[in-house]
Amino acid sequence: MDLLFVRKVCALTLLALASLANTGLAQAAPGIRIDEYPALQDSSLLQTAAGDKKNTVTFTDSAKADYDNNNSDITLRGLAQVRRTDAILKSDQIRYNTDSGEMTASGNTRFFKDGTLITGTGLNYNINTDSGKFFDPVFSLAGGGSGTASEAEALDENHTRLMDVIYSGCDCPEKFWTIQSPQVDIYDDENEGVAKNGVLYIKGVPVLWSPYLTFPVRAEKKTGFLTPTYGYTSRGGYDLAVPYFLNLAPNYDATITPRYLSKRGLLMGGEFRYLMPAYSGIASGTYINKDMETREKRWSYSVLHNHRLGQFMGLNFNLGLDWNGVSDDNYFRDFTSMGLNEADQTYLSKRATLSWSGYKYWNGYLMLQKYQTLQDDTLGRLYGQYEKVPELKVRGRRYNWNGFDVETDNTLTRFEFPTYFGDIVDLSRTDGHRAPDGTRFTSYNTISYPIVRPGWYVTPKAGLHVSHYSTDWYEEFGRYGFRSQAGTQKGSIDRVLPIFSLDSGMTFERSTTLFGKPSLQTLEPRLYYLNIPYKDQSDIPIYDTSISQFGFGSAFAENRYSGGWDRINNANLLTLGITSRWFDEDSGFERLSLQLAQRFYFEDQKVTLPGEQVRKRSKSDYLAGLSAALTDTLNTELAVQVDSADQNVVQSYASLRWKPKRLASVSMSYRYQQDPFLDERGNPLRYQLKGKETTSLSAQWPFTEKISGVGRIDYSIQDKRVTQSILGFEYKGNCCWTGRVVMQRYAVSKEKANSAIFLQLELSGLGSLGSDPMGLLRENVPGYESTTVPVPVKSTFERYE
């Protein structure tokens, strides 16, 4: 209901206050000279508003104009109008008394300002007292919507009262919905409107009533209730939230959200937003004193803060904070009402970063990174991951320095693994440590000389990587003890490795045809040579390093290990890649793209992660990719990685998307990835994600002119289960309304799932009632479009008279 009254106020406030109080007669009617009438020269009618309007020129016109010296009246008759650059007032007759300040417009009266048109049977207004009435106003707003009132009375320059108001944002001849109120008071200075006994009618049936409603006059923040949301989930039950917004100041505000879940109880939520000259952020949280299911207190919090600290010694300093926490492992599974993203979180970030930049070519940061591990008992116990307490990084970049590019990355990190005491089965260690802690320093310095010419490029690059490790292996208790890959416990280790690479490529073009259309085809070969000598690294601990999945991104990378630098592969290899593209000759649109790549190894693999099998082949897997716009409505993507020895598919991806028209789309995808790296026992390494095989089908389709369906299903072939399913229907009414029902079921753990249903009634020009599933549909259904066509913003000159 808020949007309704905002628009209503904008229209009628302009009518009763801005239009009349600021409308002057700087030029009298034809045939009348102002210098002949001294009373007019002193009249407040000639006084314009302060600010931007003080220099506004006012024009008048009419079929006949009279001035009565005895009564000090000026009268415009027949097509009378007062026109300024920002507003127009028309009427059959306009009369103004220079002594009393009374202005009267009678007959067919029209007022136009900023695209808003108001018509009525007349108006009386006193410029001296800033009071008056507009009779039987009918308004049509620039932003859409229209309404009527029996009268609009300006009680003073700040207070306007509207009587018997009927408003609708529906442009149909027969309004689907209206809002009616017997009295609406507008307080312009306070940006506040008060509607008494407002009732929402749908097809003439009252569905919502409010005895006292406040709303903002202008499109600004205003304290008050926001639109309630409601729905149902299988883990939370019936769900109703009624947010209350507090406009504390122009640059900070808060929202308090009581949320009742029938299976859980009352969950109180709050959010505080602030925007200061040097800092900004959002702090939010929730709390339930006693969950009816678990009988425990449950809570969550999140703090996002960005702070510009200013300059010191020529550097710009900034502070960033991203700190999150929940009361227990299942909080998101139980209280997430929409979508899969929050429900399957494993690690909550707790990060604070002090960064600096601005000193020539240098920048860096000091970061504290911790985590809260959210367990899923059905998947086995997680023991967390290494935390950085803290990490210091200093980076330097200088490009085109006499043709050279010079870079340096230097990082000092203290790694600590979360400790546990007594909550892990068969824990025989008494100190709670599950992994060794330690400190790592790395410095990688490179120099390259890019040679770029039309049609080709060559980039030689040389680098030196220096590392130092100081490790706390801890004492050994029972059968538990921490040792390196080599079985040692060296406390201090140094490593120095040179890295050489040569990257080169060419581009050829030719005119050809594709699908019978003139096209431009390119052929883009690329050669990448890499050389890194071997160094035994088996004494070095593993803090944050894992194996990169082989693909087009990693095929041209220096290190096959991602994350940190705990392992640097030995390399004497050549990567060959080739890309060919087809572009429409007229538009330049890329119609087809093909990619191929393979690595050739000139020496055996000697560096491995603990448990990783050594590569014994001289060639990598084949990589192939295809992206094609088969027609203007049909697109496909294919990617495959094939074992070069036994021709088995290691991983693959395929998708097909068809969008023949608006509100119609079908998308299918298939993804397969085997367990790429196994230990001696055939188990996936702990540094790797397990393999997967999944399919997905999503669609939006109109069944009739009014009814359309939308849905998605994700199926894990490997786990033999549906991980997510969405089914929804949308009904587009004849005019001004749309109804939606969306059902969703998604996995929140290996064995558990959550089901939810969302109902929404969208009233054009007013807003939506119920839970909003639009974000869910846009995120999960590729190509989804709302059945409601956005109303274009109207120009203020669209209905200019």
Model confidence pLDDT, tens digit, residues 483-516:
888 888 899 999 999 999 999 999 999 999 998 8
Give the Cα-Cα-Cα angle 140, 146, 149 (nearest 5 degrees): 100
Predicted confidence at residue 576, as pLDDT, reads 97
The alpha carbon of 37 is separated from its chain's Cα centroid by a whole number of angstroms, namely: 63
Res 85 pLDDT > 80: no
Q: Token pair of 601, please? A: 């190894």
Mean pLDDT within 141-151: 75
Strands (E), 217-345: 224-225, 229-233, 237-241, 244-249, 252-261, 265-275, 279-288, 298-312, 315-326
pLDDT at 26: 28
pLDDT of residue 344: 58
pTM, entire model: 0.76
Question: Between 311 and 429, whose confidence is greater?
Answer: 311
Residue 208 CB neighbour total at 10 angstroms: 12
| Residue 245 CA: distances (Å) to CA of 182, 226, 231, 249 | 26, 7, 21, 12
DSSP state string for 170-228: --SSS-SEEEEEEEEEEETTTTEEEEEEEEEEETTEEEEEEEEEEE-SSSS---EEPPP
| Pair of tokens at residue 613 | 């099998």
Q: To 10 degrees, the CA torsion angle through 345, 346, 350, 354?
A: -90
Q: What angle do CA 116, 117, 120 make, to 5 degrees?
A: 145
What is the average pLDDT across 532-554? 90
Beta strands in 507-613 (DSSP E): 508-514, 517-532, 545-547, 561-563, 571-584, 590-601
Cβ-in-10-Å burial (0-12, 13-18, 19+) of 125 comes to: buried
Residues of the chain with pLDDT > 90, as a percent, come to: 39
Q: When comparing pLDDT for 41 and 696, which is higher?
A: 696
In this prediction, residue 678 has a pLDDT band, given cuts at 50, 70 and 90, of low
Per-residue pLDDT band at 786 (split at 50, 70, 90): confident
- Residues in contact with 340: Cβ distance below 8 Å, sequence separation at least 6, in sequence order: 724, 746, 747
Q: Please write the tens of the pLDDT for every residue from 157-203.
A: 778 788 898 887 777 778 888 888 998 887 867 767 787 888 888 88
The single residue listed with the structure tokens 């690595």 is 599
- pLDDT above 50 for 706: yes
pLDDT in the model for residue 515: 82
Q: Is the peptide bond before 390 cis (omega within 30 degrees of 0)?
A: yes
Q: Which pLDDT does position 43 carry in this prediction?
A: 36
The confidence score (pLDDT) of residue 797 equals 57
pLDDT of residue 676: 56
Structure tokens, 500: 């050489």
CA gap 458, 503 in Å, rounded: 6
Q: Output the pLDDT for position 25.
A: 30
Residue 441 has pLDDT above 90, yes or no: yes
CB 170 within 8 A of CB 765: yes
Residue 559, both tokens: 């290190």
Tens of pLDDT, residues 334-370: 887 654 445 557 788 999 999 999 878 899 999 999 9
Chain center to CA of 343: 19
Residues of the chain above pLDDT 70, percent: 80
Q: Which residue has the tokens 């392992």?
A: 567
Chain segment 271-281, per-residue pLDDT in tens: 999 999 999 99
Nearest to 98 by CA among 52, 37, 48: 37
Task: State the chain's maximal CA–CA distance in angstroms.
Answer: 115
A 10 A CB-CB count for 625 gives 18
Stretch 24-49: mean pLDDT, rounded? 35
The pLDDT of residue 297: 95
Return the top range by mean pLDDT from 206-210, 566-570, 615-619, 647-651.
566-570
pLDDT: which is higher, 101 or 266: 266
What number of residues does the chain have?
801
In this predicted structure, the answer to whether residue 27 has a pLDDT above a threshold of 50 is no
Residue of 20 and 766 predicted with greater confidence: 766
For the record, the structure tokens of 790 come out as: 């956005």
Q: How many CB atoms lie within 10 A of CB 785?
A: 17
pLDDT, one tens digit per residue, over 468-484 is 999 998 865 445 568 88
Taking a C-beta distance cutoff of 8 angstroms, is the pair 192, 2 a contact? no
CB atoms within 10 A of CB 741: 15
Q: What is the pLDDT of residue 323?
A: 95
**Residue 684: its pLDDT value, please?**
53
- pLDDT band at residue 99 under the 50/70/90 scheme: confident
13 pLDDT more than 60: no
CA–CA distance, 625 with 579 (Å, rounded to integer): 9
Predicted local confidence at residue 771, as pLDDT: 61
Task: Return the closest-CA partner of residue 374 out of 327, 426, 322.
Answer: 327
In the predicted model, is pLDDT for residue 444 greater than 90? yes
User: How far apart are the C-alpha atoms of 37 and 577, rounded to whole Å?
Assistant: 89
pLDDT attached to residue 647? 79
Q: Could you tell me which residues are beta bridge partners of residue 578?
A: 525, 596
Asked whether the predicted pLDDT for residue 72 surpasses 90, the reply is no
Q: Which CATH class is domain 2-222?
A: mainly beta
Give the containing element (helix H, strand E) for 619: none
Q: How confident is the model at residue 800 (pLDDT cuts 50, 70, 90)?
A: low
Environment class of residue 276 by beta-carbon count within 10 Å: exposed (0-12), middle (13-18) or buried (19+)?
exposed
For 746-776, how does the pLDDT look when each residue is reduced to its tens digit (9 = 90+)? 777 677 778 888 787 877 766 666 666 666 7
User: Across all residues in the chain, what is the average pLDDT?
Assistant: 81
Residue spans of beta strands (DSSP E) within 62-169: 64-68, 73-84, 88-97, 102-113, 116-126, 131-135, 138-140, 146-148, 151-154, 159-168
> Among residues 752, 678, 743, which one has the least CA distance to residue 713?
743
Domain boundaries, the chain: 2-222, 698-780
Average pLDDT over every residue of 660-671: 93
Question: Higher-confidence residue: 539 or 209?
Answer: 539
For the ranges 107-111, 188-192, 610-614, 718-722, the lowest mean pLDDT is seen at 188-192
Listed as own residue / partner, the contacts of 714-717 with beta carbons closer than 8 Å and 24 or more positions apart are 716/692, 717/693
In which band, very low, low, confident or very high, does the pLDDT at 675 lie, cut at 50, 70 and 90?
Answer: low
| 705 confidence band (pLDDT: 50, 70, 90) | confident
| pLDDT for the residue 342 | 54
Whether pLDDT at 683 is above 60: no
Nearest to 461 by CA among 531, 565, 362, 409: 531
